[in-house]
Structure 1
């Protein structure tokens, strides 16, 4: 339990001080948990996409409009590549920060060259199969932790995915609330991507 608490604390501190990503601590490929999906990951079938949204070449800081940023209480946006898959290939990412009384950030990454089947591997992440705005997605977080972060990886095109991380800085967010925020960020980003094609 102490190791898990230390890991969570390290993740939050690293994000605040160094701007590093969740998963840059050597986390191997994630496993789909039995709580998240039934059956083997080899038999996973995803629903057809409502449409194909290619993210290659898109400015990650164009994924949320000014109105959407206001809804999410975002104060600033910084384009900074992030190795969100922990594979040595940083993806174009916009780090949207809130600097109000409650501090948090949304990292929105546009991944090319690796589809959402990446999240069907094996590691210490808890991965659940879900849907965001009709697109198949995986929700993931570090296994055995609460109130650390919540992320969604959305299947937008062949070998491409939209990854949205909600990262609290400090306390004040339940795990459910973090996942609701992450899902809402993904919904808004998908809506914007549909206008950028």
Structure 2
């Protein structure tokens, strides 16, 4: 499901078509000028150089979120770019997972424009962010792209496996996971 957020557009309602989102602003995405549209960061958190995204949630945090297992795997959140990712999964009902991706070559501004996405400005633990979900959906997932450094983002999505969560609950869970990951990332560098 995370790969679906890489971008879609709609030719006809209900007929999603792949499309790369077009960033807004006058500067290219990934530059300081593009990222400056977010509020000032409490602290820069660089994610380049972290090869295992599973370090973003420690065992206590995983237990608090109801996570039973974690699997490190490259994630293709932004079209054709594998970045360090981790799938944190719950094996109890209702089933769900948190997908955490460390994107070191594209800022969170990437998600602001174009495509078949609903994008809402947020603040997570003092960091500017955008909440992203496929337009018109209420059962797919909810994701957050957090502006952690110039041209870098922490991408956290909450994915239900089956029923059991409202859209608001999915977005609240994504925010909680993102806050925890931000806390941990600040201790790693």
Fold conserved between structures, TM > 0.5 = yes
The structure where helix makes up a greater share of residues is: 1
The two structures have a TM-score, normalised by structure 2, of 0.84
Q: Which of 16, 19, 29 is matched with 1:28 structurally?
A: 19
Matches within 5 A, 1:15-164: 21-23=3-5, 27-30=18-21, 41-42=24-25, 45-58=37-50, 59-86=52-79, 88-164=80-156
Cα separation, 2, equivalents of 1:126 and 1:85: 16
Cα separation, 1, equivalents of 2:186 and 2:53: 14
Cα separation, 2, equivalents of 1:51 and 1:127: 24
Question: Residue 29 of structure 1 contacts residue 119 of structure 1 at CA under 8 Å; is this kept in 2?
Answer: no
5+ residue gaps, structure 2: 9-16, 27-35
Cα separation, 1, equivalents of 2:54 and 2:21: 27
> C-alpha root-mean-square deviation of aligned residues, in Å?
1.9
The two structures have a TM-score, normalised by structure 1, of 0.81
CA distance 1:144–1:30, change in 2 (3 Å): farther
The structure where strand makes up a greater share of residues is: 2
List 4+ stretches of structure 1 deviating above 6 A: none
| Structure 1 residue 117: Cα displacement | 1.3
Q: Output one character per residue of 1:43-72: Cα deviation in whole Å (capped at 9) or x when no partner.
A: 982111101000112120100000000000
Question: Residue 30 of structure 1 contacts residue 126 of structure 1 at CA under 8 Å; is this kept in 2?
Answer: no
5+ residue gaps, structure 1: 1-10, 12-19, 33-40
